[in-house]
Each structure stands twice: as C-alpha cells, then as structure tokens.
Amino acid sequence: MKGKAVLAFSGGLDTSVVIKYLQDKHGLDVVTVTVDVGQEDNLKKISAKAKSLGVLRHYNIDARQEFVDRFIFPAIRANALYQKKYCLATALARPLIAQKVVEVAKKEGASALAHGCTGKGNDQVRFDVTYRSGSNLPIIAPIRDLNLTRDVELKYAKKHNIPIDTTAKKFSIDQNLWEEQLREEIWKMHSLNPLMMHSSGLRQRICPIDHNIWKLNLKVEYLLKLIENE
Amino acid sequence: MEIKFESGIPVEADRKRMKPIELIKYINKKAGANGIGIVDHIEDRVVGIKSREVYETPGASCIIEAHTDLEKMVLTKHELKFKAMVDAEWSWLAYSGLWQDPLKSDLDMFINATQKRVSGTVKLKMFKGSLRVVGRKSKYSLYSHDLATYGSSSTFDQTLGKGFVELWGLQSTEANKLLKKR
C-alpha cells in the first residue's frame, strides 16, 4: 500500500463506499474514525463493519463531553438558529469530527485525509476548512470527486458486497445530541405532514396521540366533504 | 418543564441538577414525547442550493427558546438589539463552515461577556407539539412591577412622558413638516 488515509466513518452508505474506493483506486490503507457526538449508534457494530471492509485500524472516540462544552454551550449562548429555524447541530458536530480525524492522522503518520461528503452540501465545507486549519495533508473526497449519486453508490456497494442498512436505501439520516436530520428523496415541496413523514419507519419520539389526532383530522375532513356533497 | 440557567448555560431541568449530557438527553426525551421541535423549512445551503430540510430538535428548541426568553428579562434593550445581530452572524459562520474564523472567536468574546447575568429559571409549557414560555425568574431581572404597573402602586412618574416623547420624535416630526411644505 502507498500510505494511509484517515477517514471520518459513520458506518453509512457514503463512507462505506469511500473505504473501498480509497483501497482500490488510491491503493491506500484506510484508518477509520467514528466520533461519538451522541448519535446513539451502535459503535461496536460500526467498528465491526469497518473491520469487515478491511481497514487497517478503527478508532471510536467519545467526544460527547467536548461536543457539549465547546460546541453546544456556545450555540446556546448565541441562541444559534440559522435562518431563524435550524439549530445547527450537524454544523456544530462536523468541525469536532474533523478535528479528531486530524489528531488521528498525526498519530498514525497518515498521508491523506478523507471524507464522504458530496459536492452539493455544507459538510464538505465544514470538513475541508477544519482539515485545512489543522493539517497540510491532501484531502480525498471520492463522492464529490467522482460526482457520485446515491443510486450509483448503492450499485457500487452491492457490487463490492458492502452491507447496507435498509433505511439507507430510502433515507439519509444525521443524528447527534442536538438534533436528528432526515432526508428522503420522495419529499416534494408541498407534500406530507411532518408527522406522517416521521411515521415512516424512523426513530419516533412523537407522542402517539399526535398520530391519532392527525388521523382524526383526516376523518373529519372526509366527513365534512360528504356533508357538503349531500 | 423548568430549565435553570447559570451564566447562559442550562444546569437543571425540573429542579434536578444533571450533568450536561444527561440534561440534554432528559429534555430531548421529555420534549420529544410532546412532539416539540419539528422543523420543516427551506434552507439556503452554502453552495447556493435551496433545500427542504426536516429536523427533529426537541431539546435544542426548548433550550434556545428558554434562553432567548431569559435574556430578554436580564439584558438591556441595547444589549438585546446588538446581540441579535451578533447571534445571527455567529449562526451564519457556524453554518457556513467558518467555525475556525477569528471572527467567530471575536463574537464569542462579546457573547460570553453578556452571559454573566443570564442566570435564572424559565418555565415552559408543552402540549401536543406547541411550546410556550409561561414564567421566568432571575436575580438579575430588570423587570420591575412597580415601574410597569398601571395601578396606584406605580413608582413611575408618567408626567415625565410628555417631554420625553417631544424629544424622541423630534427629527421625525421635523422631517414630516418639511415634506408637507414641498
């Protein structure tokens, strides 16, 4: 192998594809880092998955306390809401994750830093800027570099026997102590009540009563229409 | 639910002192069970794309709502007006991946200086997805019932109002007089 790349690894579709890609196309050994920022994922499973994909070493780093002290608390003091709505949770976690990757890269004597961000989102900015602020190593971002889409990634994963969680086929999820973010391809601009979206198989924190009220609303609307038509 | 802050940081929920991680988890769970903090909005990404984002942020929604409310009671109106701008800029920097920019730490210094008096308790009411602040208490409160009341216990001399308003609106009145002459 021609050296080591350190990759921020969530265990999801993007970063799993990136492991294989770094190994096959760049001929690099891969060291993976999963940073616990309160996402409540099974870290043992993630670690096992990284190893099954042939990584040289995997690090689980519990950074929850640091996440709270250095990121969430300042955000509370700043009443941090982007465009008056979004509490910034992913935006807060990325610099911390990237800092941990840089620390591991120094320890490992790595020759490259990697991430699984697309070229369309905000996370590439957060990773790149933090990587650059702490290191001069080259940055490899295969999803962005190859202009990959989710369906192509799914095919690639299948071809290379990368196990993929069934929800990953439908959703992209990001979770930490400060938020849960969901993205689903089928959402349209005017479609769906969020309560309905949340009932579609993800972590549900919403009181069941809300679902009942929602269903009741539908029934009332239906009955009113019937009366109107009489 | 009650949230207690010390220097702008939440330290207690429902009168139980907890470590920060447990505290946030507790509020997440309780507020989440009440359907609080579902955010569905159109967001401008750094690269220019508008995207529809859906978040579930029960703890963050409660804590930020309570913190903002507490600030309104303990900070002066001048501090609040300026801090709102600083907060928006801080949020923009953090969102846009400029966490390491010196401007962010500069703003942090201002924000931290304002937080010394942001201590107290905020009471929140949650019901099936709605969130309301229904009470607040602080030893740094600038609210004075004696000043605000319209009853006879008022200590505010309202006759002072006449001259104040005269001067407060002076330029606006003059400008309008001039416009009417034209």
A111, A172, A199, A200: the active-site residue: A172
| C-beta neighbour count of A217 within 10 angstroms | 11
Active site residue A145: no
Active site residue A24: no
Name the residue in chain B with its Cα closest to that of A96. Answer: B99
A99 and A76 share one domain: yes
Q: What is the CATH number of the domain that holds A174?
A: 3.40.50.620
| Kind plus residue range of the DSSP H or E element containing A8 | strand A4-8
A213 and A153 share one domain: no
Range of the domain at A120: 4-182
Q: Do A122 and B46 touch (CB under 8 A)?
A: yes
Q: How far is CA B74 from CA B9, B62, B68, B115, in A?
A: 14, 19, 10, 10
What whole-number percentage of chain A has pLDDT above 90?
64
Domains in chain B, ordered, with CATH?
1-72+118-142 (3.90.1260.10)
Letter string b/e over residues A167-181, b meaning 16 or more CB atoms within 10 A of that residue's CB: bbeebbbbbbbbbbb
Q: Do A187 and B64 touch (CB under 8 A)?
A: no
State the average pLDDT over residues B106-128.
96
A198 and A114 share one domain: no
A14, A16, A29, A135: the active-site residue: A14
Number of domains in chain A: 2
Euclidean distance between CA atoms B91 and B87, whole angstroms: 6
What ipTM goes with this model? 0.95
A125 and A217 share one domain: no
Looking at per-residue pLDDT, the higher value among B32 and B62 belongs to B62
A41 and A72 share one domain: yes
pLDDT at A188 over 60: no
* pLDDT of amino acid A170: 59
Euclidean distance between CA atoms A17 and A168, whole angstroms: 13
Give residues 134 to 173 of A whose Cβ lies within 8 Å of B.
none
A174 and A214 share one domain: no
A210 and A156 share one domain: no
A91 and A126 Cβ atoms separated by less than 8 Å: yes
* pLDDT of amino acid B32: 82
A173 and A190 share one domain: no
Q: How confident is the model at residue B34 (pLDDT cuts 50, 70, 90)?
A: confident
Euclidean distance between CA atoms A87 and B36, whole angstroms: 13
State the average pLDDT over residues A157-180.
78
A210 and A164 share one domain: no
A94 and A123 Cβ atoms separated by less than 8 Å: yes
Chain A: nearest CA to B140, how far in angstroms? 16
Name the residue in chain B with its Cα closest to that of A176. Answer: B57
A132 and A205 share one domain: no
* pLDDT of amino acid A220: 73
Q: Where are the beta strands (DSSP E) in chain B?
A: 2-6, 9-13, 16-17, 38-44, 50-56, 120-127, 130-137
pLDDT at A186 over 50: no
* pLDDT of amino acid A216: 66
Euclidean distance between CA atoms A120 and A141, whole angstroms: 12
What is the pTM (predicted TM-score) of this model? 0.88
A133 and A198 share one domain: no
A121 and A139 share one domain: yes
Q: In this structure, are strands A29-36 and A57-62 parallel, antiparallel, or unpaired? A: parallel
Short-list B87, B124, B182, CA closest to B4? B124
* pLDDT of amino acid A211: 56
Chain B: nearest CA to A13, how far in angstroms? 20
